Amino acid sequence: MSDRMGSAGVLRFEAADVTGTHCVQVDDVECGLPAGAVAQALASRMSLPENVPWGLRDDSNSALLDDDKPIGDQVDRTNDVKLTVTPKTHLG
């Protein structure tokens, strides 16, 4: 089992904002938390604008995580997890 997942379903990962300006190491996210809640908490921690809806992208495969699903179910916890906090935008 990888050291990226701690005891009791706690996920460890590196997160950066989409510009690469802010980067944080996260060691204590419960795997069962919805990805959307984690994205908003990370955006707040990085002092990103509060009036923007934020999401997470898995850097290993460029997939956007589903806000409503548990973060631990959407990332490969056997490898180093790196996520990008990205604004959700809708065109047109």
pTM: 0.86
Higher pLDDT, 39 or 6: 39
Structure tokens at 86: 């990205």
pLDDT of 6 above 60:
no
- Arithmetic mean of pLDDT over the chain: 89
Residue 74 pLDDT grade (very low, low, confident, very high; cuts 50, 70, 90): very high
- The strand ranges marked E within the chain are 5-6, 10-17, 23-30, 54-58, 63-64, 82-87
- pLDDT bucket at 92, cuts 50 / 70 / 90: low
**pLDDT bracket for residue 77 (50, 70, 90):** confident
For residues 63 and 57, is the Cβ–Cβ distance under 8 A?
A: yes
Quote the CA–CA distance of 65 and 75 in Å, as a whole number: 8
